[in-house]
Structure 1
Amino acid sequence: MSAPRKTVIIGSGCFGLSTALHLLQRGWTDITILDKAPTLPAPDGASNDFNRIVRTSYSDPFYASLAQDAIREWKKADEWQDTYHESSVLVLGSDTGPAYARESYKNDAAMGLRVESLQTLDAVRGIFPEAVKTGDFAGLTGYLNRDGGWANASQGVSILIEKIKQLGGKILSGKSVVEIVHAGSSLKATGVRCSDGTVFDADLVVLASGSWTASAFPEYSIGDLYRATGQSVAMVQLTPEEGLAYRDIPVILEFENGFYIFPPNDKNIVKMAIHAAGYTHSQPVGTKSVSTPRTILSNPADGLRIPNEKVRDLRAGLRAMYPALAEKPFVATRLCWYNDTVDGDWVIGFHPASQNTVVFATGGSGHAYKFLPVIGRLVADAIEGKLDPSVAEKFSPTRPTSSHADESRHDSTQELDLQSLCTPQDLEP
């Protein structure tokens, strides 16, 4: 498994690009990335956005430590330019609610990070500039992690695409893979076939197809380990004066209800979202019903619209954090599609029936992007048979998932009701 092989990677998102980078850096030379999107970064890819949270604040020490590694890489300006912005991350929870925030604090403190416990309402409000009017944060406590912030997601992806090309990797857009070509009746892969009839031979196929994995490659699904979920996002536009006032605020991540919100970007847009179980969009795939992404590319007319109930939830979250902004209209929404696993852990490893020819690199579960500089290291280790056994078990495609659930979310998925999607009128305050 350690010898470099002719490799096709399906998907140019976080997993696919990072895997290609790390394999190329290890001396692999024949690597081709295929993506169905007409342009890259993919307009409907979860990795293509103007910001993503970069935090070490995990209740699981493994992710906390790996995120610390990633941040060290993000800070290398000669590699990533100004993609990473260390705005700090305000992690909120409660003394009686889910333990995720409290356990995250313990892990961050144990790693020696710059964290400040905030156990009173005045302490929480005190970290904000005087010009920023905040809510009262009733019932919430938490901590400020100064070793975190956010990354310009599309910029990071674009930089990585250029890195891969410079190292000799090939990246082709507009190539929708419709079939993994097998050797006879087995699942041993010999290449892939695209919708235009093009066939790419390969000794190794990396399934880094994100939220499209279950619907596009059902023959490789193992149980119900992962599924596509739509997550609700909205944005408000600030004036230049407001943008200046709110510029130096932290990312806020509240684990009581999953609401999170960013500082304004360079265009003075503030983005907010809810880290929740999200929505499924079930469609017939063979004999099964499989959740399938519904995006701006597949549904240009309304692929960005979110359920109206989430418009209300996002408005309530905004009002609780920044009441002075709560009467602004939402200028844009997005239903962002993740490939969620039952336990929130990623899926990295060979399909057991593929004879080491098909490897999973997926299951981001809404928390993969921050690891862009390093996540491919895990996949490359898995491919080369170097992954620590305990880590391999954690991410195994055949792992049992009944032992624990995703501790960062506390609700259940709902089926997307297309009749409930928001209208322009719903976006007004």
Structure 2
Amino acid sequence: MVEVKPDSPIVIVGAGCFGLSTAYHLLKRGFTNVIVLDRAETLPAKDAASTDLNKIVRSSYPDDFYTSLAQNAVKAWKDKDEWGNNYHETGVLIMGERNAGYTKASYANDLALGVRVVNLEGEEKRKAVFASGVELGTAFTRNCFAYLNRDGGWVHAEDGTRRALENVQALGGTIIGGKLVKELVRANVETGRTTGVRCTDGSVYSAELVVLATGSWTPSTFPESVPQSQCLATGQSIVTIRLSPEEANLYREVPVVYNQTTGFYIFPPNAENIVKMAIHAGGHTRDIQTNQHGTISTPRTTLTHGETEGSRIPIEAVQELRRSFQEIYPALANSKPFVTTRMCWYADTQDDDWLIGSIPGDPSLFVATGGSGHAYKFLPVIGSLVTDAIQGVLPEHLVKKFAVDRRQRPNDKVNPGFTLRIERRTDTTRRLSESSLSTDKDLLPL
């Protein structure tokens, strides 16, 4: 592990959740020479996973490490002087159908760690959570396990990221947009130690430590350091609807609803009466052939393909979202068109645990990525883990949990049908077909 001093130059590549939180905590601990580079000209980058309408904040994990860390994150989000008025504690209704082992374990863990939870055993208890005028679908009448986590809700993701940018700058950190890093600068061929980064515009930033916090762009940008066998870019499909003021008033106080068996989740309406929903699943890969590293999944976004074309999602995803929507709020699902679509690109690991640590053989190169769709809620605190790792004080069990080389690398390739464990549930990725993307007519109610 490289030893960095308070005035050592540190370059962080990526101004998203991991990158900004890491910069924030480094600066809070007295590091004075922290630079964050990002490919997007305007920040927060509008196509980043961290620049979203909203994200779920919940402590409901069967792993007590994540539950405890989430509790710390909620406390931080509530500090409005530090993080603004971005956290909304609406509660999170969590359900698990059929084999609800993950959900039951999450409930037991929440209960053991003092989270305010309400067991919703039975249809009547579930219905009592909602206003009388809210029509509920079949998901609430099935034989499932459900509970309400009152110490959770959602956070305005784009504004939270913007607040993180401001916090880093207020502490003296430097953030530069429009800097697409094309390669790492090495000391020499023999040692291979990273000494900085070179951008596509020719600029070079020297550093004692480089931190790759590039999210879903990591395997396609740095395939030699982080192959996609360890970190896979998957596109997750998101849609929104718009409610009338009357409808929004009716649904305003509903909790976030998250079905941990199917992966479907839906938010209450925001201040603009917009409701977002998605399915946390294996997602789609966009496979691009490279000369040296074979096929690598690479994001397709509004910055790479334009505002309209880059926001389209697969027709099959639209249909799955409509069906899942009907099982939660049928009256809305049968009447409301989807008004926006988006592919939110995740950096998925095979086991849901993040990648935090140095690259084997190169102690000057750190990785902080692999959010796997559940990192953003930890924005105020996740950088403390990275900073602990950089300073060599991260507990050994967490060093192993997040180690970059703990995952098997049989051939550094991902075959079609790559299986990911998604919060103790497995799902298979699907290849994105650009000929099967949705059009406006696909967004209408069935």
TM over 0.5: yes
Q: Is residue 2:256 matched to residue 1:254?
A: no
Amino acid at match of 1:275: H
CA distance in 1, matches of 2:313, 2:101: 29
Partners of 1:80 and 1:204 lie apart in 2 by: 27
State the secondary structure of the residue aligned to 2:197.
strand
CA contact (8 A) 2:100 2:144 kept: no
* 1:6-85 alignment runs, 5 A limit: 6-85=9-88
Tell me, yes or no, if the aligned pair for 1:92 and 1:254 is still in contact at 8 Å: yes
TM-fit CA distance, 1:222: 4.9
**SS of residue in 2 equivalent to 1:330:** coil
Counterpart contact for 1:58–1:107, Cα < 8 Å: yes
Give, in whole Å, the separation in 1 of the partners of 2:136 and 2:300.
35
Structure 1 position 365, deviation (Å): 0.3
Q: Which amino acid aligns with 1:226?
A: C
Is the contact made by 2:281 and 2:422 (CA closer than 8 Å) also made in structure 1?
Answer: no
1:163 and 2:167 matched: yes
Aligned to 1:394: 401
Runs of 4+ in 1 over 4 A off after TM superposition: none
CA contact (8 A) 1:215 1:285 kept: no
1-side partners of 2:222 and 2:425: how far apart? 27
Match for residue 100 of structure 1 among 95, 99, 102: 102
Alpha-carbon displacement from aligned partner over 1:180-211 (angstroms, at most 9, x marks no partner): 11112243111111111111111110000000
Residues 405 and 314 of structure 1, relative CA distance in 2, 3 Å threshold? closer
Unaligned runs of 5+ in 1: none
| SS at 2:303 equivalent | coil
User: CA, structure 1 residues 233+223, in 2 after alignment: closer, same or farther (shift >3 Å)?
Assistant: closer
Structure 1 position 293 matched with structure 2 position 295: no
Question: Does residue 435 of structure 2 align to residue 423 of structure 1?
Answer: no
Most deviating of 270-279 and 139-148: 139-148
CA distance in 1: counterparts of 2:205 and 2:36, whole angstroms: 11
**Aligned partners of 1:406, 1:389: CA distance in 2, in Å?**
24
Q: 1: CA distance between counterparts of 2:83 and 2:261?
A: 33
RMSD: 1.3
Distance 1:216 1:81 in 2: 33
Call closer, same or farther: CA 1:77–1:223 in 2, change over 3 Å: closer
Per the alignment, in what secondary structure is the counterpart of residue 360 of structure 2?
A: coil
CA distance in 1, matches of 2:438, 2:187: 47
Q: 2:389 aligns with which of 361, 382, 386?
A: 382
AA aligned to 1:250 is P
The structure-2 alpha-carbon separation of the partners of 1:160 and 1:60, relative to structure 1 and needing over 3 Å to count, comes to: same
CA deviation after TM superposition for structure 1 residue 103, in Å? 0.7
Instruction: Map 1:14-413 onto structure 2 (within 5 A).
Output: 14-94=17-97, 96-136=98-138, 137=140, 138-185=142-189, 186-222=191-227, 224-287=229-292, 288-300=294-306, 301-326=308-333, 327-354=335-362, 356-400=363-407, 405-413=421-429
AA matched with 2:20? L
Q: 1:180–1:193: 8 Å Cα contact kept in structure 2?
A: yes
Q: Deviations over 1:14-66 (max 9, x none)?
A: 00000000000011000110000110010100000121000001121111110
Structure 1 range deviating more: 180-189 or 419-428: 180-189
Partners of 2:117 and 2:147 within 8 A in 1 = yes
% identical equivalent positions: 51
What is the number of equivalent residue pairs in this alignment? Answer: 426
CA distance in structure 2 between the aligned counterparts of 1:306 and 1:194, rounded to whole angstroms: 31
